């Protein structure tokens, strides 16, 4: 159980547990009045977006039945429950069924393992491996679902940044801003967060940030970003 300022997250029946990646993305991602959380897991990102954007209606989708149950239970225990709908459906299927241009923003902490050893547990493989949602499928589906001024925000390992950027351009989207993330100043970058736009961006912004200083304390950037969530 993880207790935040305005909600509590249980992750006992989901394959992927609450982690720093989801908190970072939920605290940083752009929003709007209509938001899609693709691969909601515990529902943490959907809840963070609901807290940050008080007028937003949010759709939280996942392909795993247990994840949907967990997310729904977590969401129903909050004051945000009337603004968040949980659905068991893949992003690709949602894009096939939906009318074009429904969302102001899509937020996704995507599965990113490629050609790597799989777990014997099917549920964990769905959450972690890109078999269920490739870079291209993510970009293609997002481009269809987003409004003309919409954005997609993701978090992923740095060694996949070029793949995500290339697939975005291939599918008619361009990077708008990127944050390269280090755990500490002397470490190599581990993750990146990126915002992709359905509109052409001539001068994308890029910055590098650290989660902790050399003494293991949270940096000012990290503290300010997550301050309204962490106790």
Residue 132, pLDDT > 90, answer: no
Q: What is the pLDDT of residue 120?
A: 53
Residue 104, pLDDT > 70, answer: yes
Residues 6+ apart with CB under 8 A from 95: 140, 141, 142, 144, 145
Binning pLDDT at 50, 70 and 90, where does residue 125 land?
A: very low
Binning pLDDT at 50, 70 and 90, where does residue 127 land?
A: very low
pLDDT digits (tens, 9 = 90+) for 79-93: 999 999 999 999 999
Weakest-pLDDT range from 38-52, 115-129, 178-192: 115-129
8 A C-beta contact, residue 175 and residue 194: yes
Binning pLDDT at 50, 70 and 90, where does residue 151 land?
A: very high
Binning pLDDT at 50, 70 and 90, where does residue 16 land?
A: confident
Listing from the earlier edge strand, what are the strands of the sheet with 57-62? Answer: 84-88, 57-62, 34-38, 103-108, 146-157, 191-197, 174-182, 205-210
8 A C-beta contact, residue 143 and residue 159: no
Q: What is the pLDDT of residue 116?
A: 42
Weakest-pLDDT range from 110-114, 164-168, 213-217: 110-114
Residue 197, pLDDT > 90, answer: yes
- pTM beyond cutoff 0.85: yes
| Helices 44-52 & 65-76 angle (0-180, nearest 10) | 40
Q: What is the pLDDT of residue 131?
A: 67
Residue 110, pLDDT > 70, answer: yes
């Amino acid at each position: 159980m993880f207790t935040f300022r305005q909600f509590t997250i249980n992750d006992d029946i989901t394959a992927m547990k609450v982690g720093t990646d989801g908190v970072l993305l939920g605290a940083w991602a752009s929003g709007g009045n209509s938001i899609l959380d693709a691969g909601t897991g515990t529902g943490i990102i959907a809840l963070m977006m609901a807290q940050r954007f008080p007028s937003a209606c949010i759709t939280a989708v996942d392909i795993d039945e247990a994840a949907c149950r967990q997310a729904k239970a977590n969401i129903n225990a909050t004051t945000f429950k009337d603004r968040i709908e949980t659905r068991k459906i893949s992003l690709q299927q949602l894009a096939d069924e939906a009318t074009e241009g429904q969302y102001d923003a899509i937020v996704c902490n995507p599965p990113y393992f490629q050609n790597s050893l799989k777990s014997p547990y099917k549920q964990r493989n769905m959450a972690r491996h890109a078999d269920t949602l490739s870079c291209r499928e993510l970009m293609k589906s997002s481009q269809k679902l987003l409004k003309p001024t919409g954005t997609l925000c993701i978090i992923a390992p740095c060694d996949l940044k070029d793949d995500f950027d290339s697939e975005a351009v291939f599918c008619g989207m361009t990077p708008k801003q990127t944050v390269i993330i280090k755990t500490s100043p002397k470490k190599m970058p581990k993750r990146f967060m990126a915002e992709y736009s359905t509109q052409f961006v001539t001068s994308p912004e890029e910055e590098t940030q650290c989660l902790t200083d050399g003494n293991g304390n949270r940096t000012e950037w990290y503290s300010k970003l997550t301050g309204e969530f962490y106790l």
